């Protein structure tokens, strides 16, 4: 039995999948957090949060890496860790630093740091000749406006250090650019109390569909598990409204996406001890890298993969963190595709009605999760405002997405927000 150190986590899907994978593989973990109540608040009423199944729960300032490193060294001397992980993007660089300090498996801190900073990713990939959008990184307004004119409208404005599509906006002119920059500057500290870098990433607006390539890197080899598609809504925001695995692509497009993702991972140095989720736009000029995430995919994409292939990416995440070969053997699950669709609110208010009775019993339905009436609703500007999701599978082919869309249409018909 191995002993892992888990440093913080998201409070959504992976905060449950990761402890489950650790437990089901016969391991134990110690949970390190700066604010345990952050997780207690997210536990369903009447249940304990899975992270509370830790062998030890220790409080420390996980935002102060220089103070944290010697503290973790002292813990390691007493408790003995075999690996260290996090599912939260904001702590991936800290975990890489910890792994390096303790001599534990994992990718290099510089590689993880570059992947977690969108501006650094752009520079590394550009230097390596990996295709991406034209971009600029600026801080002062006059420089931002000038760079935007050079790139050309419409374009995309991004923070360099936030997640889940927060504050990512399409802008069509200088007035919209100014508004997007003001909104971003008014958010100087992220949800975990970390001060943000006050620079803006401007990118060329890319055409074409977006997909993600799910990979597992071990012993210097990167294994492609598959390609997932993505639907996006909420303009001018970029809100993920659904996914299907595998993506309904031609073999040529799938191969192009995979090769582009592999080139990006190689350029960043993420070829050992990483489960990665690399987002690619299949543009009219060829594939372009959107971003590289050195952790398993969110939005329950890992579960779509498991339903279709039998491969458990959360378990693979644990394996590579321990320096062990992941089990990537495919099994016959009886499904050819699986899809998830999110209920995305277009207005703010209070949820009065959302009727999902009988949905779980319908053919092909794999999961249903819906918000309860009475909940405060915010019009979606990122992936953080969903009112729930539906997941379904297709045993015959790529029909899972159409099935999910039909089910969501039924839910929307009974949705009342006032």
How far does CA 185 lie from the centroid of its chain?
23
> With 0-12 CB in 10 A as exposed, 13-18 as middle and 19+ as buried, what is 47?
exposed
Sheet holding 169-171, edge to edge: 135-138, 200-204, 155-159, 169-171
pLDDT at 222 over 80: yes
pTM: 0.96
Q: Per-residue pLDDT tens for 295-318? A: 999 999 999 999 999 999 999 999
Q: Is 101 helix (H, G, I), strand (E, B) or coil?
A: helix
The average pLDDT across 322-338 equals 97
The average pLDDT across 216-224 equals 96
Separation CA 324–CA 216 (nearest Å): 12
Cα Rg of the chain (Å, integer): 21
Query: Residue 341's closest CA among 245, 407, 417?
Result: 407
Model confidence at 15, in pLDDT bands (50, 70, 90)?
confident
Separation CA 327–CA 171 (nearest Å): 44
Separation CA 90–CA 42 (nearest Å): 18
pLDDT at 165 over 90: yes
Separation CA 407–CA 244 (nearest Å): 15
pLDDT at 2: 98
Q: Per-residue pLDDT tens for 31-74? A: 999 999 888 876 666 567 888 889 999 999 999 999 999 999 99
Q: Per-residue pLDDT tens for 104-146? A: 999 999 999 999 999 999 999 999 999 999 999 999 999 999 9
Model confidence at 356, in pLDDT bands (50, 70, 90)?
confident
Model confidence at 264, in pLDDT bands (50, 70, 90)?
very high
pLDDT at 414: 87
Neighbours of 15 (CB within 10 A): 20
- Composition of the chain by helix, strand, coil, percent to 5: 35, 25, 40
Model confidence at 345, in pLDDT bands (50, 70, 90)?
very high
Neighbours of 221 (CB within 10 A): 9
The average pLDDT across 175-196 equals 96
Where helices occur in 287-399 by DSSP H, the ranges are 301-309, 313-321
pLDDT at 45: 60
In this structure, of 53-62, 175-184, 199-208, 409-418, the range with the lowest mean pLDDT score is 409-418
Q: Is 155 helix (H, G, I), strand (E, B) or coil?
A: strand
In 205-315, at which residue ranges do the beta strands (DSSP E only) sit? 210-218, 221-233, 239-245, 274-283, 286-293
Query: Residue 209's closest CA among 225, 232, 226, 227?
Result: 232
Both ends of the chain: CA-CA distance in Å? 52
Do 245 and 228 form a contact (C-beta atoms < 8 A)?
A: yes
Do 53 and 1 form a contact (C-beta atoms < 8 A)?
A: no
Separation CA 107–CA 65 (nearest Å): 17
What are residue 221's phi and psi, to 5 degrees? -115, 135
The average pLDDT across 278-287 equals 98
Separation CA 289–CA 253 (nearest Å): 14
Separation CA 240–CA 245 (nearest Å): 15
% of the chain exceeding 70 in pLDDT:
99
Domains of the chain with CATH codes: 3-104 (3.40.50.20), 134-204 (3.30.1490.20), 207-333 (3.30.470.20), 337-417 (3.90.1170.30)
pLDDT at 293: 97
Separation CA 119–CA 142 (nearest Å): 19
Do 225 and 305 form a contact (C-beta atoms < 8 A)?
A: yes
Quote the mean pLDDT of the chain.
95
How far does CA 190 lie from the centroid of its chain?
16
pLDDT at 37: 87
Separation CA 374–CA 86 (nearest Å): 33
pLDDT at 46: 58
pLDDT at 52: 84
CA distances from 347 to 184, 207, 241, 387, 418 (A): 21, 27, 15, 12, 9
Tokens 């050819």 appear where?
336
């Amino acid at each position: 039995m191995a002993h892992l150190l888990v440093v913080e986590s998201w409070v959504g899907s992976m905060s449950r999948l990761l402890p489950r994978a650790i437990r089901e593989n016969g391991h134990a973990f110690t949970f390190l957090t700066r604010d345990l109540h952050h997780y207690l608040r997210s536990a369903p009423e009447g249940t304990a949060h899975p992270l509370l199944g830790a062998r030890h729960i220790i409080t420390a300032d996980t935002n102060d890496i220089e103070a944290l490193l010697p503290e973790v060294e002292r813990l390691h001397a007493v408790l003995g860790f075999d690996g260290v992980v996090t599912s939260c993007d904001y702590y991936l660089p800290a975990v890489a630093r910890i792994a390096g300090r303790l001599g534990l498996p994992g990718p290099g801190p510089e590689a993880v740091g570059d992947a977690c900073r969108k501006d650094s990713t752009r520079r590394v990939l550009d230097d390596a000749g990996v295709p991406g959008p034209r971009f600029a990184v600026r801080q002062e307004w006059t420089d931002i406006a000038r760079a935007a004119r050079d790139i050309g409208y419409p374009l995309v404005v991004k923070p360099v250090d936030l997640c889940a599509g927060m504050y990512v906006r399409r802008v069509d002119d200088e007035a919209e650019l100014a508004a997007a920059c003001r909104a971003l500057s008014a958010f100087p500290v992220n949800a975990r109390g970390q001060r943000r870098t006050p620079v803006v990433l401007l990118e060329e607006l890319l055409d074409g569909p977006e997909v993600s390539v799910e990979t597992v890197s071990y012993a210097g080899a990167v294994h492609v598990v598959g390609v997932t598609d993505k639907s996006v809504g909420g303009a001018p925001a970029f809100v993920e409204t659904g996914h299907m695995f595998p993506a309904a692509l031609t073999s040529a497009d799938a191969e192009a996406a995979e090769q582009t993702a592999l080139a990006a991972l190689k350029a960043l140095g993420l070829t050992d001890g990483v489960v990665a989720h690399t987002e690619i736009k299949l543009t009219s000029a060829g594939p372009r890298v959107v971003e590289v995430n050195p952790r398993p995919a969110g939005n329950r994409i890992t579960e779509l993969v498991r339903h279709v292939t039998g491969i458990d990416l959360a378990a693979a995440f644990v394996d590579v963190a321990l320096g062990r070969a992941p089990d990537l053997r495919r099994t016959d699950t009886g499904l050819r595709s699986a899809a998830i669709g999110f209920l995305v609110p277009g207005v703010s208010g209070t949820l009065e009605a959302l009727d999902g009775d009988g949905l779980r019993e319908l053919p092909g339905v794999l999961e249903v999760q819906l918000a309860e009436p009475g909940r405060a609703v915010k019009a979606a500007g990122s992936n953080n405002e969903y009112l729930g999701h539906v997941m379904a599978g297709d045993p015959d082919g790529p029909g899972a997405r159409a099935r999910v869309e039909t089910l969501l249409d039924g839910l929307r018909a009974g949705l009342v927000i006032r």
